[in-house]
Amino acid sequence: MNTLQSINYPIHFNNIAAALNQFIKQGNYSRFFILTDEHTVKHCLPIIRDGLDQTDNFDIIEINAGEESKSIDFCVGIWKMLIDFGADRNSLLINLGGGVITDLGGFAASTYKRGIDFVHIPTTLLSQVDASVGGKTGIDIDNLKNIIGTFTQPKAVFIEHRFLQTLPARQVRSGLAEMLKHGLITDAAYWEKLKNSDLENLSAELIYDSIAIKNKVVIADPTERGLRKILNFGHTIGHAIESYSLEHDENPLTHGEAVVAGMICEAYLSHQKSGLSLTAMEEIINTLLGLYGKYELDEATFPMLNDIMRKDKKNQGGNINCSLLSNIGESKIDNICTDEELVESLKFYASLEYAKA
Ligand code: GLY
């Protein structure tokens, strides 16, 4: 359990210092830059820096943590710093952080001087099991997440299980949502194993298996023409709820919490439209509600949520396209959902009884 091969790059798992040093040495880079935020600079950069053989030819680019940084303004800031530091085309950008850093850093690197090499060292569970694998880079515009971006694969990914010890429990649960999704869309045995595990202390093996599931899907369909769309289960409605929450809530939902709400709505749609049995739907909903509780959604927000879904980048020909389940561990892409069906699923979610423990 230490290296997975992705599309055309390795994903190194644990004890990453040796692999990173070897990668930098072999790449013969003129300079390298580490993109970090105020959290990873404190908690993760020292671990990386201590393990580096070459300590004199890199600079650090630090940005603010948080989704607000995933904007064109911050991207311009990174490009300008690369220019000021004299980054040439043979430079390497090391993205050390969560999904914001890997998406934004990947985008900045893939466009700077028509593209320089970059690698990811994801430090949150969410970015380890999702954002860092598969080559999606992106920035947001207003409340539209990842509306601008490229498919550009990193040159390598380095994942360290012990970084999870630096994270608040809520951030770990955000990543757990994507791991649960990986089981639901492709692997019933993994779903079963994961939901019965000690979720407060996720094992390296469970994380590795989740990355392997995602990796298998992106290898089969790197640019999301078909199969990769299954990874969007829960995300059509989840993204809309996340965008809404980011704009309106004092303490907004994490990505994973919003995706859980989206998965519950889309499990309902799966039962209505793609053959998911009532028993399976109930199992999914009870498990997710038991783990995450319920987000209070007011009916007055439904038109706004529907409007956000209409602008989703996954839509085609004016249709809202959802990836749904046909069973636990099996999914179906390209299910066109009408506005009425989507609103119906939101109503279903809002009506769910949930007694807080
Ligand atoms: N996060 C979904 C994907 O990488 O396709």
Tens digits of residue pLDDT in 257-302? 999 999 999 999 999 999 999 999 999 999 999 999 999 999 999 9
Q: Whose CA is nearest to atom 4 of ligand 1?
A: 134
Indicate whether 100 pLDDT > 90.
yes
Tell me, yes or no, if 224 is annotated catalytic. Answer: yes
Indicate whether 357 pLDDT > 60.
no
Query: Terminus-to-terminus CA distance in the chain, angstroms?
Result: 37
- Out of 12, 215, 224, 335, which one is annotated catalytic? 224
Pick the atom of ligand 1 nearest to 229's CA: 5
Lowest mean pLDDT among 280-289, 329-338, 346-355: 346-355
Indicate whether 102 pLDDT > 60.
yes
pLDDT of residue 355: 64
Distance 243 CA to ligand 1 centre (A): 17
Distance 353 CA to ligand 1 centre (A): 31
Tens digits of residue pLDDT in 118-162? 999 999 999 999 999 999 999 999 877 888 999 999 999 999 998
- Out of 182, 195, 235, 271, which one is annotated catalytic? 235
pLDDT of residue 15: 87
pLDDT of residue 13: 94
Cα(285)–Cα(291) distance, rounded to whole angstroms? Answer: 10
Pick the atom of ligand 1 nearest to 232's CA: 2
Please choose from 228, 312, 331 the residue to mutate so as to test ligand 1's pocket, defined by most ligand atoms within 8 A of CB: 228
Tens digits of residue pLDDT in 19-40? 999 999 999 999 999 999 999 9
Please choose from 216, 231, 236 the residue to mutate so as to test ligand 1's pocket, defined by most ligand atoms within 8 A of CB: 231
Tell me, yes or no, if 232 is annotated catalytic. Answer: yes
As a whole-number percent, the residues of the chain with pLDDT over 90 amount to 87
How are the residues of the chain apportioned to helix, strand and coil, as percentages rounded to the nearest 5?
Answer: 55, 15, 30
pLDDT of residue 246: 87
Q: Which long-range contacts (CB under 8 A, 24 or more apart) does 249-255 make?
A: 253/295, 254/170, 254/171, 254/173, 254/174, 255/99, 255/126, 255/174, 255/177
Tell me, yes or no, if 239 is annotated catalytic. Answer: yes
Tell me, yes or no, if 255 is annotated catalytic. Answer: yes
pLDDT of residue 52: 87
- Where do we find the tokens 């990193």? 154
* Binding site membership of 211 for ligand 1 (Cβ less than 6 Å): no
pLDDT of residue 293: 95
* Binding site membership of 134 for ligand 1 (Cβ less than 6 Å): yes
Mean per-residue pLDDT of the chain: 94
pLDDT of residue 49: 87
Tell me, yes or no, if 271 is annotated catalytic. Answer: no
* Binding site membership of 183 for ligand 1 (Cβ less than 6 Å): no
pTM, full prediction: 0.94
* Binding site membership of 228 for ligand 1 (Cβ less than 6 Å): yes
Both tokens of residue 89? 């085309």
Q: How many CA atoms lie within 13 A of 106 on its CB side?
A: 32
Tens digits of residue pLDDT in 40-72? 999 999 988 888 887 777 899 999 998 899 999
Q: Whose CA is nearest to atom 2 of ligand 1?
A: 231
